[in-house]
Amino acid sequence: MNAPMPPEVLDRSTYVGSSDIAAILGLSKWATPLDAYRRKVEPESFPEHDDDKRKILRRGTLLEPVIRSMAVEDYGLTLYGTGNRYADPEHEFMRAEIDFETIDEAGGLGGIVNNECKSVSPFLADQWGEEDSQEIPADYFAQVQFALMVTGRPLAYVWALFGADKLVRYVIPRQPEDVLDGIRARVVHFWNNHVLARVPPAPVTIDDVEFLMRSLQGREVVATPDIEEALQRYRNCKAVAKGAEDEIEDLKFTIVEAMRRGAEEQHGKPLLPDEYACLVDLHGKKLCTWKAQATERIDVKGLRAAKPEIATQFTTTSVSRVLRLGKA
């Protein structure tokens, strides 16, 4: 049985962990293979998590001990360890950290079962199956299988906390060895052919392309016929979208002008600044409203003039590429 690694300061650029595997396999909704590459090779170039992802990670960290305690108490588990890290017997750069481990007959000869904690928004409950099933999101399933591969264990429990108090157990058996061999081969290829070779994976999103093009300046590229066709379709879609935007504005004017005129004619007085119009059907059902809305914005020009040092302190520069069309 694979033994846990000794405690040490983690340098995530030196190994592939469970949290990387979904991105490497193209199963993550948060990261691409290129993102995983950047975390290893150019971590300083990889942006911090956005607010949504940061909130999810923070919630998961805070709730992990709670989920573990609930699982141990509700299911009578015997705790073996928490936060142990393991290296793959074949490839030391593959490592997995297990949220907690329990002693269980289902753990095979070693008697140890991997356990993973997940806090789930109730709005995402439809992505999870019934209790004791294997129906969990694909990115989590990949993480669990990678950890089973590294630890050499036959089974893992995933504990999902929905909301504040609904704990559901999922039973994830180890996949056949040919499946795990396929995962291992993908990770080895990623490590040897991309990370060690310093060759970025192919892009799959616009952000990926922007990163790879960050140092290109004014290079001409000859368009192939299929790219010319894609460009023309892009022009056509832009034209349709522009036409839709113009129609939206026309329809909006028609509706709000009818509401303004109706508010004055049907009530016999002008619409005051602190009043709003409400459009209803013949049965009194509300169809839409036209309300005033206050928006606060910082006067950047005025701030720079009055407090240039503060404006400079809180000014950041972001660079993005814009696809500008030449004449058709």
In whole numbers, what is the pLDDT of the chain averaged over residues?
86
Selection from 133, 325, 307, 152 nearest residue 241 by Cα:
325
Estimate the share of the chain in helix, then strand, then coil, as percent rounded to the nearest 5. 50, 15, 35
Alpha helices for 268-321 (secondary structure H): 300-306, 308-313
Which tokens sit at 213?
Answer: 């093009």
On the question of pLDDT at 139 being above 70, the answer is: yes
Structure confidence at residue 21 as a pLDDT band (50, 70, 90):
very high
Q: Give domain limits for the chain.
A: 12-212, 225-293
On the question of pLDDT at 48 being above 60, the answer is: no
Amino acid residing at 196: L
On the question of pLDDT at 200 being above 90, the answer is: yes
Domain at 12-212, CATH class: alpha beta
Which segment of 13-17, 166-170, 268-272 scores lowest on mean pLDDT?
Answer: 268-272
pTM: 0.70
Write down the pLDDT at residue 310: 84
| DSSP bridge pairs for 159 | 117, 169
Measure the CA–CA gap between 291 and 303, rounded to whole angstroms: 30
Cα–Cα separations (whole angstroms), residue 172 to 108, 145, 146? 14, 8, 12
Instruction: Specify the 3-state DSSP secondary structure of 119.
Output: strand
